[in-house]
Every structure is written in structure tokens, then in C-alpha cells.
Amino acid sequence: MESFNKGKTGWNPGSEPSLYTVKAVLIMDNDGERLYAKYYDDTYPTVKEQKAFEKNIFNKTHRTDSEIALLEGLTVVYKSNIDLYFYVIGSSHENELMLMSVLNCLFDSLSQMLRKNVEKRALLENMEGLFLAVDEIVDGGVILESDPQQVVHRVALRFSLSLFLCVQVLQSAKEQIKWSLLR
């Protein structure tokens, strides 16, 4: 194992396996406008650089039927549906199947959460579900989950907990108002 770390066997130490496999998750509309973007490293540190990259990706992919592209030294897997384009980006050395599993998990999770109505309007009306789903699938570039059933279940639990906490806060506020009025 020591020889791998020192690079004596031809192994490139700069490309050692890593848990950090996802560089970005993007969703754009059919005009190439960003609806959702989450970058997990500083490959594109400014919004201006991110938007230029997104425009480049969209221009290269929106008229093709393939699912994988190599662009700017990155591996891009993508899928389109009605008026949305979904992208998962990794390094050029990344396993395309891993990136594709993230893409499929995201799409299938949203499909279940949106009752198979995966289109721009429905997505915009349910952005909180999208945020939670992406957070369940990828955390800091590390793939956590690739089973859409598990993602949907966890998102539902988080929604239920949020709703429960809101009800408790409202009940508490109601009680405080009632007691302040009685004084």
C-alpha cells in the first residue's frame, strides 16, 4: 500500500479514490436558465463563473440525446424531461455510473414527490422538497443515498417534523397571548 501512496507503481497520487464524487447538481429550464444549482467545491468560485459554465453545459447538451458529456475537464451526466434539464457533475476521473445513480435518484425522488409531474411549474412550487431531496442524496459532494424510496421517506419525515414544530410554536404563542390578555 505504501507504494501506491508514493506513486512508484504508476498510480497517480493526485487521483486517489475519494468519497467526494459530486462537484455540482444543477437544474435548468428549457431556456438554459438556472432553477437550482449547488456547487460542492470551488471549481467555479463566483456566480459569474458558474453561470458561464452552466450556459456552456446547456449549449452543449440541450440538443443531444446522449446522457454523458466531457466538458471543461469534467464529467457531466444529464437528463431532460418536458421543460427541465437535470445535471450532475463530477471530475473527469469520476465513475459515470456513480454520477448517473445520483442523477437517477434525484429525478426519481422528484418524480415521486411531484406525483410524476416533473415540470418547471411543479418544481418551483415545491422547491423546499427539492432542497431536502438533494441534501439527502449528496452532502458536501459525498453521495449519501441512491435509493429514491429512502430519499422520499426521509423528506416526508423532515416535512412532518417541521409541520409538527410549527404547530407547537403556534400553540405556545396562542397560550402566551391568552395569558397576557388575562393579566
Q: Where are the domains of the chain?
A: 17-164
Instruction: Select from 3.40.462.40, 3.30.420.40, 3.30.450.60, 2.130.10.10 the CATH code of 17-164.
Output: 3.30.450.60
Nearest C-alpha neighbor of 144 from the set 98, 113, 108, 96: 98
Which of helix, strand or coil describes residue 103?
A: helix
pLDDT of 68-85, one tens digit each?
A: 988 889 999 999 998 999
Helix intervals (H) in the chain: 2-6, 47-61, 96-113, 120-125, 127-137, 148-182
Q: What is the mean pLDDT of the chain?
A: 84
Q: Are 138 and 25 in contact (CB under 8 A)?
A: yes
pLDDT of 20-57, one tens digit each?
A: 689 999 999 999 999 999 999 999 999 999 999 999 99
The string over 62-88, giving b where at least 16 C-beta atoms fall within 10 Å of a residue's C-beta and e elsewhere, is eeeeeeebeeeebbbbbbbeeebbbbb
